[in-house]
Amino acid sequence: MRVGILTFHRATNYGTALQAFATEKGIKKLGVETEMIDYRPEYIERTLHVRKLTNAKSPKEIASIIVNAVLYPNMAKRKAESFKRFFSLMNVSDDVCLTADDVAKASHEYDVVLSGSDQLFNRNITGDDKTFFLPFEHKRKVTFASSFGERKLSADRVEEIAPFFSGFDALSVREKTAHDILAQIKKVNVSAKSAISVLDPTFLLTKDEWNEYADADLKLPKDGYILTYYMLETPLLRDITAKLQQKTGLKVVNIKPSKKQVILHQGKNLSYAGPSEFLACYKNASYVVTNSFHGTAFAINYGIPFFTSTLPVSMAGEVNSRLEDICELFDLSHRWIDCEQKLNATDFTKPFEKETERIIKNLREHSFDYLKYALGL
């Protein structure tokens, strides 16, 4: 059996790259041949481009490029190269697809076409591109851990996409909110499949399996460290990190360091880090402080004591609800800190919960059971 996977697989975003990698490697564990359909929409490809002054479209963008060049010299290029090296570890189709018609043609090379994971159904990312809904004829079309990236769709959006859900042979989603959206869709399209909840694909691989792809040459503090992964630095995140450092005396390592962290030399800053460096950081971390969904997911999968906080509403979208959901799913809501009051009540010495490993194992088996059903194994 050959499975063609359609997802975002070429973006300089840790969660995006790692979920794509895990989907391909996870399905391969079931004994089937897997391949990424090399679809390259422009809105994803642009993330691989290093911004240049000659292409800047506003004074604000010019200023941003100059500041980043001073604070992070050559880091953008180095980071992009690290991501590309990681992409080469995936099994990708020889033919590049630039349009939905290209994908439809390529799909006939596979017994099953799988759309997922990530926010493939989020129009704020994909715009008018409907390719990830698999709008073409094929003998077996399925989804895995797909996300809409929104809490609720407009009536117009439901009408627009509802017809596509008749064509799927199996549906699975990653978030609670997606079930509510599919209920909206079923009111319009009663033939749409019901969806099964599954884990984010990064959980398909164990921490030992992930460690095989960690950068073994990355120099990190040998006596443990606090790993920060700020999607956007906030006062609350800074307070969590400072209090944790005060309690433990550990050094700080920053993935995606903020300008303040760089200017004030607040720890080891890894502006150039790609996915392999990301994994190396998690492999040896003593604690994690983050407001990233995948930053939280990897802390859980690795069994690292973590503290997850909120993103500002202006940029959060549905991220905060996803952060709360994943903490609740693994019975770790006490590690969700959304205010100073919770911070002051937090026990920073509490070890990681042993029961979580059992929960991960059970949910991982459930997710693989869905994949076996979806692929017709």
- pLDDT number for residue 316: 46
What is the mean predicted confidence (pLDDT) over 191-207? 93
Domain check: are 179 and 212 in the same one? no
Q: Are residues 221 and 192 in the same domain?
A: no
pLDDT (mean) for 28-42: 96
> Per the structure block, which two tokens stand in for 328?
């609740």
- Does 225 reside within a domain? yes
Burial class (CB in 10 A: 0-12, 13-18, 19+), 358: exposed
Residue 189 sits in which domain range? 2-47+84-197
Task: Give the pTM.
Answer: 0.92
Whether 75 maps to a domain, the answer reads: no
Where residue 9 sits, what CATH number does that domain have?
Answer: 3.40.50
The residue from 165, 197, 229 where one domain ends is 197
**Is residue 233 a part of any domain in this protein?**
yes
Name the 3-class secondary structure at 5.
strand
Give dist(CA 41, CA 97) in Å, integer: 8
Same domain? 157 vs 285 = no
- Helix, strand, coil proportions of the chain in percent (round to 5)? 50, 15, 35
42 and 178 belong to one structural domain:
yes
In a domain, 58, yes or no: no
Instruction: Identify the domain boundary among 172, 197, 222.
Output: 197
- pLDDT (0 to 100) of residue 241: 95
- Tell me whether residue 216 is in a domain: yes
Q: Which amino acid is at 315?
A: M
pLDDT of 323-369, one tens digit each? 888 999 999 999 999 999 999 999 988 899 989 999 999 999 999 99
Confidence of residue 105 (pLDDT cuts 50, 70, 90): very high
With vertex at residue 330, the alpha carbon angle to CA 325 and CA 335, rounded to the nearest 5 degrees, is 75
Whether residues 214 and 295 share a domain: the answer is: yes
User: Considering its fold, how many domains does the chain have in total?
Assistant: 2
The alpha carbon of residue 266 and the mean position of all alpha carbons in its chain are separated, in whole angstroms, by: 26
Domain for residue 54, yes or no?
A: no
Question: Quick one: 143 and 32 in the same domain?
Answer: yes
Last residue of a domain, one of 163, 197, 231: 197
The enclosing domain of 246 has a CATH number of 3.40.50.2000
Question: Does 260 score more than 50 pLDDT?
Answer: yes
Cβ-count burial 214-246 (b if 16+ within 10 Å, e if not): bbeebebbeeebbbbbbbebbebbbebbebbbe
* 339 located within any domain: yes
Residue 93: in which H helix or E strand, if any? strand 92-97
Q: Tokens standing for 6? A: 């359609």
Domain for residue 20, yes or no?
yes
Kindly give the residue spans of alpha helices, DSSP state H, lying in 108-193: 123-126, 155-161, 176-188
pLDDT above 70: percentage of residues in the chain: 93
Residue type at position 283: K
The 10s digit of each residue's pLDDT in 213-259 is: 999 999 999 999 999 999 989 999 999 999 999 999 999 999 988 88
The pLDDT score that the predictor gives to residue 349 is 85
Is residue 291 within 8 A of residue 323, CB to CB? The reply is yes
**pLDDT of 268 strictly over 70:** yes
Q: Which residue has the tokens 């926010």?
A: 119
